[in-house]
Amino acid sequence: MKILVSTKNMPRDEWLAWRRKGIGASDAPILFGVDPFHSEMHLFLDKLNLLPEDEQSEAAYWGQQLEPVIAKEFAAKTGFRIRRKWAILQHSEYPFVLANLDYVVLDGNDGRAVLECKSTSEYRKADWDDRIPDRVMIQIQHQMAVTGADRAYVAALIGGNKFWFTREPIARDDEVIANILKREAGFWELVESKTPPLADGSDACSDLLASLYNDPSDNTIPLGPKALDLVVARQEAKERLGTAEIDVRLAENRLKQMLRYNEVGVIGEWRVAWKAVTQQRNGKEITFRRFTITAKGGDDEWTT
């Protein structure tokens, strides 16, 4: 591990410029398709500084502001000492692999451990049910790869009022780290050669393409042979999707036929509801029946 640059009192624009010199821990989940907000294409354009400058989002801003609060609470609950690390760190063998740690933990064992602090909305609380989200696990393994640490801790503030943390350390996984480094090396070759990655099927990639090419010209162009494969694949997928939608509607309608005038039916662990709902629409009161299926005792709607 090497210190690439100190970040203490560094302006945000300068910090972003340094981050573009390599792949950081928060970039790594994008390459494995587990970041819900960014695609590999987005990351590629960002590293080449080809995206319009975005102001820091409120969620990102408050996440940074809450990091010291979360770290302090982690220290209070565990009794461990923590220390802020004001630096961008660099892997000793792969100079494009970087890490900007939240904190290091002095937990009484040899060496130091990594601490990753997160704040997330109530909407994503299910991601933290008795497990560390995949995107966070990839982040901390990336950080351990850079620092050489053999363990890490995670602390999170969920919905502004629920504190979640790991009391026992997460162990370094060298097999996972090897896969992370291999994937990152392949991506960095694309960046250095300015070869765009193929678009993926994520919503994030769709949104990015729409924003990149939002001023079309009235042109018709020939497409290569690969386009035909994609057209056929799309049509086949749409046919499968159409069949699935029909199957869903068939099952729902037959369940409604069984319920008739009743609002709720139960079978095994399932609760089938077709309840009357009244809403105001365009100044008029409209009543309709809403169909849902839930696991008994659960809150999540499986079908609407």
**Which DSSP helix (H) or strand (E) runs through 258?**
helix 225-259
CB 138 within 8 A of CB 174: no
Q: Rounded to the nearest 5 degrees, what angle is found at the Cα of 58, between the Cα atoms of 28 and 128?
A: 50
Q: What is the pLDDT of residue 154?
A: 96
Nearest to 143 by CA among 152, 134, 154, 132: 152
Dihedrals phi, psi of 16, to nearest 5 degrees: -65, -40
Q: Rounded to the nearest 5 degrees, what angle is found at the Cα of 239, between the Cα atoms of 248 and 252?
A: 10
Six-digit token string for 134: 């995949």
Cα four-point dihedral sign 164, 169, 170, 172:
positive
Q: What is the pLDDT of residue 113?
A: 92
Half-sphere exposure of 201 (CA within 13 A, CB side): 4
Sheet with 87-90, side-by-side order of all strands = 2-6, 87-90, 98-99
Would you tell me how many other CB atoms lie within 10 Å of the CB of residue 118? 23
Q: What is the pLDDT of residue 260?
A: 82
CB 136 within 8 A of CB 116: yes
CB 304 within 8 A of CB 291: yes
Q: What is the pLDDT of residue 199?
A: 86
State the Cα–Cα distance between residues 272 and 30, nearest whole angstrom: 38
SS3 128: helix
Q: Which residues of the chain have pLDDT under 70?
A: 296-304
Q: Can you list the domains of the chain with their CATH numbers?
A: 2-211 (3.90.320.10), 225-295 (no CATH)
Q: What is the pLDDT of residue 281?
A: 72
State the Cα–Cα distance between residues 42 and 20, nearest whole angstrom: 13
Residues 6+ apart with CB under 8 A from 216: none
Half-sphere exposure of 127 (CA within 13 A, CB side): 21
Q: Which residues pair with 277 in a beta bridge?
A: 288
Nearest to 78 by CA among 167, 169, 171, 161: 167
Start-to-end CA span in the chain (Å)? 51
Six-digit token string for 211: 């924003």
